[in-house]
């Protein structure tokens, strides 16, 4: 990536780091390394706070998590924080749940940084679109069943039609929906209306990769009723492969031994 000379002397740099889906051990090696070198960490609600143990003792931690339906830090305010801290000459980590460029507003933040001539770098993370199905024993592709998968959001910006153009999703081999828990009844209704079979298998994974993970299986016809006890964050998987969880589920909380965060990572990466 080519960065043009910036107007601020001794300007810092912003790293947009994917924190992964929840389990802190799933952060990338580079993500952990950058966290250990940062002066400022600006982190989200979905980034596991245990990851802050990888940071230096003198680093500054700023929580900017967005809470559905509740007052929260606006995207404009977050952009301002990133820009201001970098202009102070600091190394800034913007720590995001999942991957910064998968429904994480990372593109918007990069645009704001570029406008102010702030150097930045993307450190990809494991998206829940991949991790949640994997931890539920659901392959999103299978050469005998599904040759492709599609990822879509179940929640969009205000005044936008979340379900615009959803008719083309009916033919997706495997459909993975993020941020769609509250819209699950509508999602099922829309897909059936557009021609997806009512008996199409569906899995809903709550708190994926955490020990509190739960998976509910059903069909488009009954999943809204069966998953009524689940709450966000959750991942919805629709398609024949969702039924594979019956046989391939391997992550069972009741069978897991208590696992603590890998403290060797802190020793290795924290300054």
Domain segments of the chain as ranges: 13-126, 129-253
Per-residue model confidence as pLDDT tens digits over 162-215 = 788 899 999 999 999 999 999 999 999 999 999 999 999 999 999 999 999 999
66 in catalytic set: yes
**Helix ranges (DSSP H) in 128-244:** 128-135, 184-193, 223-226
Mean pLDDT for all residues in the chain = 89
**Rg of the chain (C-alpha set):** 20
Question: What dotted CATH number matches 129-253?
Answer: 3.30.950.10
Among the listed residues 66, 182, 186, 226, the single catalytic one is 66
Token code pair at residue 60 = 């500054």
| pLDDT tens figures, 3-22 | 344 455 679 999 999 999 99
Protein fold of 13-126? Cobalt-precorrin-4 Transmethylase; domain 1 (3.40.1010)
Give CA separation, 26 vs 31, 40, 61, 79, 131, in Å: 10, 21, 21, 26, 9
DSSP conformation class of 141: -
**Is 1 considered catalytic here?**
no
Rounded Cα distance, 210 and 202, in Å: 21
* Neighbour count for residue 37 (Cβ, 10 Å): 16
Q: What is the pLDDT of residues 98-112, one digit of tens each?
A: 999 999 999 999 999
Catalytic residue among 39, 96, 179, 181: 179
Q: Model pTM?
A: 0.86
> How far apart are alpha carbons 19 and 124 in whole angstroms?
8
| Phi, psi dihedrals of residue 141, rounded to the nearest 5° | -130, 155
């Amino acid at each position: 990536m080519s960065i043009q000379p910036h107007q601020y002397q001794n300007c810092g740099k912003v790293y947009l780091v994917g924190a992964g889906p929840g389990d802190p051990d799933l952060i990338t090696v580079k993500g952990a390394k950058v966290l250990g070198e940062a002066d400022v960490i600006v982190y989200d609600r979905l980034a596991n706070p245990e990851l802050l143990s990888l940071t230096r003792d003198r680093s500054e931690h700023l929580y900017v998590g967005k809470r559905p339906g509740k007052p929260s830090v606006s995207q404009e305010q977050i952009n301002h924080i990133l820009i201001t801290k970098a202009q102070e000459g600091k190394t800034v980590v913007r720590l995001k749940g999942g991957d910064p460029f998968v429904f994480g507003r990372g593109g918007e933040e990069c645009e704001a940084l570029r406008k102010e001539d702030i150097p930045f770098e993307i450190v990809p993370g494991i998206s829940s679109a991949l991790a949640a199905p994997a931890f539920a024993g659901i392959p999103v592709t299978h050469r005998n069943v599904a040759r492709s998968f599609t990822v879509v959001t179940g929640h969009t910006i205000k005044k936008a039609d979340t379900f615009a153009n959803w008719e083309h999703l009916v033919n997706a081999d495997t459909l993975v929906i993020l941020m769609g828990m509250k819209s699950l009844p509508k999602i099922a209704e829309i897909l059936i209306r557009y021609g997806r079979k009512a008996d199409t298998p569906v899995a809903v994974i709550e708190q994926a990769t955490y020990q509190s993970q739960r998976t509910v299986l059903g069909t488009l016809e009954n999943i809204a009723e069966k998953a009524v006890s689940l709450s966000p964050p959750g991942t919805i998987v629709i398609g024949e492969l969702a039924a594979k969880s019956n046989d391939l589920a391997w992550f069972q909380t009741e069978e897991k031994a208590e696992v603590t965060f890998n403290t060797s990572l802190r020793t290795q990466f924290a300054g």
